[in-house]
Copies of this chain bind each other. A is one copy, B any other.
């Protein structure tokens, strides 16, 4: 991979948001002896360095009824060195969809020797282990882990921590292009290699998203929800720095990765709020904005890298665009509900959502459901709770 050094950055307290970085080559080779030239804006990232990060990374693939053909393509795209954690919330009845997925993945694992773990997030063993570990927040009234993609991602993060992984990345299971999956994981690695801090995150800014417009393909660059989320996140940052900015481009980036240290420290949101919440959480706790600083004062900066992929992002579009409105409302709800949101911005958010008919006259933007940071989980107790399960054996292989 050959990638541009970030040209700009915005700093607030202990947070550091880098500008979008472009990719010039998907494969820069082993880069034997091609030294880092400090005066060059475009740097090679050696294959062996990327592979070293991959072998310390768990890639989480959340599944809920996506076509198994697509899941198999995603698995083919993830580098062999990664640990893959497929966390499924697919139906078990009337037809047991999960067993289909499990069998497909086990067959794939046998054929390739790749380390792939499959777990159903509603498995009672997981819920019981979470109770033992003192983290019941994830459970619903039935005593199982809640439905929802964010909840599955949190369970998978704990499993990755159990497996001793240093990094965790997320890849959607409905991607039509295994080559795009491979690219995202490499970009995660390239960003994580450039970090100076133990607390770092990489977010992918999609090159484009092909849409069907008048019987032809149109490569849309700007996601409709993302544009709005980014505008308000940038306004928030500008409010406190005093400089207008466009630095944030990945307010709704589902494709992202982090160091385990950061993943355990964040307080994650559920639903469509999860990605936007990352930024707001970082600013609330490490942005030195609030008068009572969080007890988690860091001795390091939190670094957020944003990398623009080269491949278009082509996922299952049969789901359509029904969720754009909910995504926008949830994302802006995250900002609105934060104590760091200035009143001027609150008013603008309400106006924006009303104008788009996403909010009735008497309503306020929805507050996100927040989970306490995963660092409060007693990992040893959790490990004991899942000991002996087939997925645990596969994790610790």
A-to-B contact residues, CB < 8 Å: 2, 23-30, 34, 42, 44, 47-48, 51, 54, 73, 76-77, 79-81, 108, 111-114, 176-180, 182-183, 210, 212, 215-217, 219, 310-312, 314, 317-318
Q: Are A81's CB and B29's CB within 8 A?
A: yes
State the oligomeric state as a number of copies: 2
Q: Are A76's CB and B182's CB within 8 A?
A: no
- Chain B's closest residue to A108 (CB) is B24
Minimum C-beta distance from A112 to chain B (A):
5
Q: Are B183's CB and A217's CB within 8 A?
A: no
CA A34 to CA B182, docked complex, whole Å: 21
- Interface secondary structure of A, over-half rule: mixed
Q: Are B76's CB and A176's CB within 8 A?
A: no
Q: Which of B2, B77, B215, B310 contacts A310 (CB 8 A)?
A: B77
Q: Which of B80, B215, B317 contacts A28 (CB 8 A)?
A: B80
> Known contacts being A177-B180, A182-B179, is A24 close to B217, with CB within 8 Å?
no
CA A30 to CA B79, docked complex, whole Å: 11
Q: Are B311's CB and A177's CB within 8 A?
A: yes
Residues of B within 8 Å of A2, CB to CB, are 80, 112
Q: Are B76's CB and A51's CB within 8 A?
A: no
Minimum C-beta distance from A307 to chain B (A):
13
Q: Which of B111, B177, B311 contacts A24 (CB 8 A)?
A: B111
Q: Are A24's CB and B112's CB within 8 A?
A: yes
Q: Are B176's CB and A312's CB within 8 A?
A: yes
Residues of B within 8 Å of A310, CB to CB, are 73, 76-77, 178-179
Q: Are B26's CB and A178's CB within 8 A?
A: yes
Residues of B within 8 Å of A183, CB to CB, are 178-179
Q: Are B217's CB and A26's CB within 8 A?
A: no
Minimum C-beta distance from A26 to chain B (A):
5
CA A341 to CA B29, docked complex, whole Å: 46
Q: Are B26's CB and A179's CB within 8 A?
A: yes
Q: Are A26's CB and B76's CB within 8 A?
A: yes
Minimum C-beta distance from A2 to chain B (A):
6
CA A42 to CA B112, docked complex, whole Å: 7
CA A80 to CA B178, docked complex, whole Å: 20
Q: Are B80's CB and A217's CB within 8 A?
A: no
CA A172 to CA B240, docked complex, whole Å: 49
> Known contacts being A212-B215, A310-B73, is A79 close to B177, with CB within 8 Å?
no
